Amino acid sequence: MSKNKNNKPVWSTRINQKVSSTFQKVGSSLNVDKRLFREDITASIAHVEMLEKQKIITVAVKNKIIWGLKKVLNEIIKKKFSFDERNEDIHMSIEKRLFEILGDDAGFIHTARSRNDQVLTDLKIWLRKSTYEIIDDLNKTMKIFLKCAEKNIYTIMPGLTHLKNAQPISFGHYLVAYIEMFSRDKKRFMNNLENLYENPLGVAAFSGTSFNIDRFYTTKKLKFNKPTGNSIDTVSDRDFVCDFLYSVSLCSIHISRFSEEFIIWNSDAFNMISLNDKIVTGSSIMPQKRNPDPLEYLRGKSGSVIGNLLSMQTILKGLPLSYFKDLQDDKELVFDSFDHLKNCLKILRDVLTNFSPNKKRMLEFSEVGHTTATDLADYIVRDLKYPFRKAYSITAKIVNLAEKKKKRISEMSLDEIRSIDKKIGTEVLNVLKVNNSVKSKSSYGGTSFDNVKKMIKKYKKQIND
Ligand code: ARG
């Protein structure tokens, strides 16, 4: 390879003219993929070690290149490295600097590899690390959810369907619902790891190489589990990118649904929770306002993150095998989604430590809307041995009567209830109390206080394991 002087691209012997300046600007991914510098250098070191072990390069050249790479690494860390977008991407930038440091011997580094397998190797290593980071953040978030749940086992609130009060539930039970979601998110991220542990390095441009390389050696060095099996698929494959983006999307959707609920509950109409100063912002004109902007941010960001997944899928859907420039956008989408999710999980944790449930209001509100009507129907089934449908219809009549009398069913007298069916027992008055309703939902996974306690215990153990 000729000396890489005067900022000429490595292909300048073949392509005499400079690429159009606009394309040079927009076609460069350096500003995005410079984030991969550590992974790129680590993978390059493993690559040259392998080349030397296989006697493709000499020990002297290997040592020289590794020394040079470490110098470059140090320069980047110490911010002494000058990034120049004319070098297109992080791979070319590092190679170019290596030439400046080592001269022609730097050119041995690219034997038996291509940027196509190089970028995939870097990205997979980065995604492995980042996946663990997100799992860690999910654990932290779930622990805070658990703490909140533990404090609110006996906090009764209305459970909603169709945004209408439906049945009373434990607020702790509601919070544990999100622990279930985040546990599934965690599992989803973990499931992605298997593909991230397949080593793309060594498939070169897309058809393999005639050099006697040892892909198992780099696999071990770079802590992969095995080399990828088909060179063409390897450079074309961005399934692992979609998997990551999908996992981020779904996790963001969970965060968004939670945010939406908290926005509603914080509204003056619901007034079920209060937000501390740390998680509200004011209005420029209305001095009294305390707006839940952070929650709205969380809800909004899920949109961008879902968009990133759709962008990647759209880029891929009509793309022939194998490498095309189209694929270069993958990193921007991955980094963007990762950054958003990290921030969102952090903000979510801030929300959880800076709100308080308005317990009195929650309890009061849980009585609104005849929320124990199902309990009444169930009681009639048990007490009078009626089929459920008959009990349902009797209960509906009692609700109608209550409404006529402008009462809640829980406020009805025994006589009033018995005016619909005189066989109903006196126990009914207890059945209509929200506290007893929650307590009674002891079927596996139900909202009874005992169940919630058990679930919290189970998750505490699981998350700390
Ligand atoms: N920066 C490029 C990317 O991220 C690296 C691969 C370039 N390969 C190529 N044949 N132009 O996609």
Predicted local confidence at residue 5, as pLDDT: 52
- SS3 label, residue 164: strand
Q: Are residues 53 and 141 in the same domain?
A: no
Lookup: tokens for 322: 């194998």
CA 123 to CA 188: how far, in whole Å?
A: 19
Residue 412 inside a domain? The answer is yes
199 alpha carbon – ligand 1 mean position (Å): 17
Residues 6+ apart with CB under 8 A from 86: 7, 9, 24, 28
Confidence of residue 198 (pLDDT cuts 50, 70, 90): very high
- SS3 label, residue 386: coil
> What's the structural domain count of the chain?
3
Torsion of CA 209, 213, 216, 221, to 10 degrees: -110
Confidence of residue 2 (pLDDT cuts 50, 70, 90): very low
Q: Whose CA is nearest to atom 5 of ligand 1?
A: 115
Q: Are residues 397 and 447 in the same domain?
A: yes
pLDDT tens for each residue of 22-59: 888 888 999 999 999 999 999 999 999 999 999 999 99
129 alpha carbon – ligand 1 mean position (Å): 22
Average pLDDT of the segment spanning 372-393: 97
The structure's pTM equals 0.95
Task: Specify the amino acid at residue 302.
Answer: S
From 331, 365, 399, the end of a domain falls on 365
Q: Are residues 308 and 376 in the same domain?
A: no
Residues at CB less than 6 angstroms from ligand 1 = 29, 33, 89, 115-116, 119, 323, 327-328
Q: Whose CA is nearest to atom 4 of ligand 1?
A: 328
Predicted local confidence at residue 384, as pLDDT: 96
Task: Specify the amino acid at residue 362.
Answer: M
Q: Whose CA is nearest to atom 3 of ligand 1?
A: 328
Predicted local confidence at residue 21, as pLDDT: 86
Task: Specify the amino acid at residue 307.
Answer: G
458 alpha carbon – ligand 1 mean position (Å): 47
332 alpha carbon – ligand 1 mean position (Å): 13
| Domain containing residue 266: CATH number | 1.20.200.10
336 alpha carbon – ligand 1 mean position (Å): 19
- Do the beta carbons of residue 289 and residue 302 sit within 8 Å? no
Residue 16 inside a domain? The answer is no
For the chain, how many helices (H) and strands (E)?
A: 19, 6
Per annotation, catalytic residue among 162, 210, 284, 443? 162
Average pLDDT of the segment spanning 128-137: 98
Beta strands 164-170 and 156-161, pairing class:
antiparallel
Q: Whose CA is nearest to atom 11 of ligand 1?
A: 325
Residue 74 inside a domain? The answer is yes
Q: Are residues 95 and 175 in the same domain?
A: no
**Domain range holding 318?**
123-203+235-365
CA 372 to CA 165: how far, in whole Å?
A: 10
**Closest ligand 1 atom, residue 331 Cα:** 4
Residue 438 inside a domain? The answer is yes
What one-character-per-residue DSSP string does 52-114 give?
Answer: HHTTSS-HHHHHHHHHHHHHHHHHHHTT-----GGG-SHHHHHHHHHHHHHGGGGGGGGTT--
Q: Which among 115, 201, 324 is the best mutation to test ligand 1's pocket, defined by most ligand atoms within 8 Å of the CB? A: 115
- Do the beta carbons of residue 436 and residue 428 sit within 8 Å? no
Name the β-bridge partners of 356.
274
- Alpha-carbon distance values, 156 to 162, 202, 261, 375 (Å): 19, 60, 16, 16
Task: Specify the amino acid at residue 128.
Answer: R
Q: Are residues 182 and 263 in the same domain?
A: yes
Residue 11 inside a domain? The answer is no
**Closest ligand 1 atom, residue 328 Cα:** 12
DSSP 200: -
Residue whose structure tokens are 């999908």? 246
pLDDT tens for each residue of 239-253: 999 999 999 999 999
Dihedral over Cα of 246, 252, 254, 260: its sign: negative
Average pLDDT, the chain: 96
Question: Is residue 145's pLDDT more than 80?
Answer: yes
Residue 50 inside a domain? The answer is yes
162 annotated active-site: yes
Predicted local confidence at residue 259, as pLDDT: 98
Predicted local confidence at residue 397, as pLDDT: 98
88 alpha carbon – ligand 1 mean position (Å): 9
Q: Are residues 186 and 315 in the same domain?
A: yes
Q: Are residues 195 and 334 in the same domain?
A: yes
Q: Are residues 274 and 377 in the same domain?
A: no
**Closest ligand 1 atom, residue 89 Cα:** 1
From 89, 111, 133, the end of a domain falls on 111
Residue whose structure tokens are 């619902």? 177
Side-chain-side CA neighbours of residue 388 (13 Å): 4
- With vertex at residue 300, the alpha carbon angle to CA 296 and CA 306, rounded to the nearest 5 degrees, is 150
CA 65 to CA 55: how far, in whole Å?
A: 15
From 111, 139, 164, the end of a domain falls on 111
| Domain containing residue 53: CATH number | 1.10.275.10
Q: Are residues 260 and 162 in the same domain?
A: yes
Question: Is residue 391's pLDDT more than 60?
Answer: yes
Q: Are residues 266 and 240 in the same domain?
A: yes
Average pLDDT of the segment spanning 307-313: 98
Per annotation, catalytic residue among 283, 356, 393, 413? 283
34 alpha carbon – ligand 1 mean position (Å): 13
Q: Which among 116, 123, 319, 327 is the best mutation to test ligand 1's pocket, defined by most ligand atoms within 8 Å of the CB? A: 116
Residue 132 inside a domain? The answer is yes
Chain Cα centroid distance, residue 66: 36
CA 132 to CA 129: how far, in whole Å?
A: 5
Q: Are residues 158 and 192 in the same domain?
A: yes
CA 254 to CA 243: how far, in whole Å?
A: 17
249 annotated active-site: no
- The continuous run of DSSP H or E covering 168 comes out as strand 164-170
Q: Are residues 78 and 91 in the same domain?
A: yes
| Domain containing residue 444: CATH number | 1.10.40.30
Question: Is residue 224's pLDDT more than 50?
Answer: yes
Predicted local confidence at residue 25, as pLDDT: 85
Q: Which among 32, 89, 330 is the best mutation to test ligand 1's pocket, defined by most ligand atoms within 8 Å of the CB? A: 89
Residue 312 inside a domain? The answer is yes
- Do the beta carbons of residue 313 and residue 304 sit within 8 Å? no
